[in-house]
Amino acid sequence: MSLKPFTGLLFCCTGLESTTRREVVGKIETLGGIHYSDLMTDVNYLIVGDRDTEKYRFCIKYRPDIIFIDADSIFTIHKHWINGEDESSDLLRIEKYGLAIFAQLSACFSRIEMTISQIDHLVNTVKFREHTNTSPEYFRPKNLFKLFVDNGGVAKESLSCHQKFIITADPRGTRYNKALEWNVPAIHPIWIVDSILRGAALDWKDYILSNDPNDCYDRGCAVWPEVFDYQEKQKQKSQQKQKRSESVEPEVKRKITNNKTNTDIWNSIMDHTKKQTKQLIHDRTWDDDDDDDDDDEEDIETKVEKDNGNGNKKTTTNNDNQKPELNGKNLRVDLKLVSESKESSPNVSESQLFLGFNYYTVGFDSREFDLLSKAIENYSGEISDDPNDDSITHVVIPAKKGYQSVSILKVLPADLKSRITNGFVKVVTEFFIERCMFYKKIILDRWGQPMKGLVPSKKSFRICTSGFTGIELLHIEKLIGALNFEYCETLSEQRDLLILNINLFKPSFVKNSPKLFQYKCKDIINCPTGGSVSVMSSKNKIDAAKRWNIPVVSVAYLWEILELSTNKSHLIMPDITDLQWCIFAPSNYNKPKSLLEYVKNLDKASRESSFGPKSQEIDAQEQPTMDNSVKLPSPRRVNSKQKYGKLVRGKSPKSIKRKLLEAANSFTDGQNDHDINPDVTLEEDMMSQIRYQDNESMINQERLLEKLDGSALPSETSIQHTSKRSRKK
């Protein structure tokens, strides 16, 4: 049985009955494809059951990259696949099953003749019709009738109420009037010409016959330039495939006279092109580096021995002013891959950068795929559309979908996944392609590998950078956007974070903050500094960030977010005060667990500083008016903290027991009830509050007196007896 022919293809259905839809979805998944209920931007194929749907109208008007097919095509391909059809057979290629332009459409043709002036007006008034055949013969009724039938339509001269519409250029006659009576829409015959130009039936509602002679019927498609560009690219790809097949045929038919010699020649060619695929290379890019090794490697200039092609080895040195190809342990791990490939040879021209590399892309939309494939082919690389191709050397997935990399790679065939696991095939992102093109050599580092922790944040932060240049600046900006943060080109007080290229001040940081260069991912923090980078500008930004209490970190902090968020459902923010990336943190920083908490603290502080004084002034202004209002006392809490009298200079303090005795005496002597309460200070007494006495408060007072005086509170009778004896004296 053949391997799955729909691997890597994305589908969406429209206008299908529920039963048929379930069957189609099952067949798609069986054939290795992915089905979306909603029309996504990366969907390749729209399975059409009825054109009178919003999905079809949108695609026909705005999506030139969509290929329209019907449900029967899915069933046919599935049948051929079950029957064991060869995987290279055209019977399994979905491109051969495109939906006919006028399939399932039945129309009545009536008075479709157009005058020369009408044809001239329709063709010359609208620019996109210049791409069609402008000869008058092309617009003759017989030719239009033939075009409609040849492209799947059913055309009749008689009218019935079951027909989809009537095609006519003259709003007169018995059939036209009957069509109006039966609610059969009448459309202009230019709809046939434009639909053939588009490659699919346009929405007939945009071609309703109008009584306006100046109407040019140009509303069927909104992206005509993109349609023509896409068709031209598809035509070029088809021609390139045909040329490749023609160039391969003579080699296949050539008779091999000396098997040993031909084998040697073939092995020699492969040694210079795809030699890296013959070795088992364990990729340790994501492994943690030892601290000791990092310290030793930081101050050592890396020396690499390269084979110059003549067997002699040449020693080159990467210093701070050069752009290092790989750093630390990653250099030792991937050295074979770089040095043994033809691209690493100093004699290889720039146009042969990807010579011997065969890329298979997954997850890109049509526009991204076109840009990526064009760049790869311009540098002598190859693009494979077959995941079962044994010559595939790299699988490319979008960098922004790093957190989905596992699910994206699941759709690959088992053989390809096995070769990825064993190290024969590398999984990279478009960052790898861009970095290689920028540095004009093959660089396989963390920047170009899938970032599984690239999870979009639910909270947007405003981030500014300083000191970066070249491809690193571009990729940092893309990472910030992929994390759902806001990249800001200028620094202001409203920013949340400043990311600095520490290599701009390397001598000073190595002396004062050496841990900044001890981060485990050396290839991330080792960003170059170009001539366009202004040291003074970065210093000014740092000073401004300090004045505005904006944290300043290295790019290691951004990368640590990706490291901690790997295989997590949400974004995890590292401690911003870690000396491996922290350059400056505000003095009032209490080491919150996340940047979000820090931003909340800043927001709270700003609100208190901005609203606090103003609210006090408002209270002060409103206080005179509030004095005239009625103040209602509120109950005080029973368990509130008790206050006691202050010590007054020149007077000895009274004990609590003495205050209670005086209160008892005043009670028995019939003194005023408004005398000083021994439990309330003068300050509290001025408050319009009510104290509710209860048993619990009395017990608390007794316990307090026991602790202070070492004796129990005297009873009410003893207090009265003492007061009477004092009066006798």
Q: What is the pLDDT of residues 440-487, one digit of tens each?
A: 999 989 999 999 888 888 888 999 999 998 899 999 999 999 999 999
**Mean pLDDT value of segment 374-394:** 91
Residue 645 has pLDDT above 80, yes or no: no
Q: In the predicted model, what is the mean pLDDT of residues 240-250?
A: 61
pLDDT at 447: 93
Over residues 300-325, the mean pLDDT reads: 36
Mean pLDDT is highest, among 255-269, 272-286, 338-352, 425-439, for 425-439
Superfamily classification of domain 10-97: BRCT domain (3.40.50.10190)
Spacing of C-alpha 443 from chain mean position: 24
- Residue 131 token pair: 């791409």
How far apart are alpha carbons 95 and 675 in whole angstroms?
A: 101
- Looking up tokens 């067949």, which residue turns up? 27
Residue 334 predicted with pLDDT over 60: no
pLDDT higher than threshold 60 for residue 600: no
Least confidently predicted of 107-111, 277-281, 643-647, 714-718: 277-281
Query: How far, CA to CA in Å, does 200 sit from each of 21, 67, 99, 186, 433?
Result: 22, 9, 8, 19, 35
Q: What is the DSSP string of 691-709?
A: PPP-HHHHHHHHHHHHHHH
pLDDT tens digits for range 6-21: 988 999 999 999 999 9
Determine the CATH number of domain 315-448: 3.40.50.10190
Which of residues 373 and 638 earns the better pLDDT score?
373
Same fold, 106-227 and 315-448: yes
pLDDT of 712 above 50: no
Cα–Cα dist 431/399, whole Å: 7
Strand order in the sheet with 358-361: 382-383, 358-361, 394-397, 426-429
pTM (two decimals): 0.39
Q: Which of 16-20, 143-147, 310-314 has the lowest mean pLDDT?
A: 310-314
Helix (H) or strand (E) holding 250: helix 224-253
| pLDDT more than 70, % of the chain | 65
Q: Which fold has domain 462-590?
A: Rossmann fold (3.40.50)
Nearest to 520 by CA among 280, 694, 237, 285: 285
Least confident of 69-83, 337-351, 384-398, 450-464: 337-351
Is pLDDT above 80 for 414? yes
| Distance in angstroms (rounded) separating the CA atoms of residues 460 and 454 | 14
Q: For residue 604, what pLDDT is reported?
A: 53
Q: 146-160, 577-591, 653-667: which has the minimum mean pLDDT? A: 653-667
pLDDT of residue 700: 67
Strands 394-397 and 426-429: parallel
Res. 657 pLDDT band, cuts 50 70 90? low
> Is residue 644 pLDDT above 80, yes or no?
no
The mean pLDDT value for 118-147 works out to 88
In whole angstroms, give the CA distance from residue 666 to residue 682. Answer: 18
| Bridge partners of residue 108, in order along the sequence | 156, 166
**Which stretch of 54-58, 590-594, 725-729 has the lowest confidence by average pLDDT?**
725-729
Q: Which secondary-structure segment (H or E) carries 61? A: helix 54-62
Give the Cα-Cα-Cα angle 384, 387, 393 (nearest 5 degrees). 65
What is the rounded distance in angstroms from the CA atom of residue 26 to the CA atom of residue 33? 10
| pLDDT, mean over the chain | 74
Residue-level pLDDT at 704: 66
Of 350-354, 446-450, 540-544, 659-663, the least confident: 659-663
CA distances from 519 to 334, 522, 523, 579 (A): 20, 6, 10, 10
- d(C-alpha 513, C-alpha 510), whole Å: 6
* Residue 29 scores a pLDDT above 60: yes
* CATH code of domain 106-227: 3.40.50.10190
Rounded average pLDDT over 308-312: 40
3-state secondary structure of 421: helix
Give residue limits of the domains in the chain.
10-97, 106-227, 315-448, 462-590, 656-728
| Cross-strand partners of 109 | 167
- Lowest-confidence pick of 81-95, 184-198, 439-453: 81-95
For the chain, what percent of residues have pLDDT higher than 90? 35
pLDDT at 292 over 60: no
CA distance 549 to 41: 41
Which residues are CB-contacts of 412 (< 8 A; sequence separation ≥ 6)? 7, 8, 362, 387, 395, 420
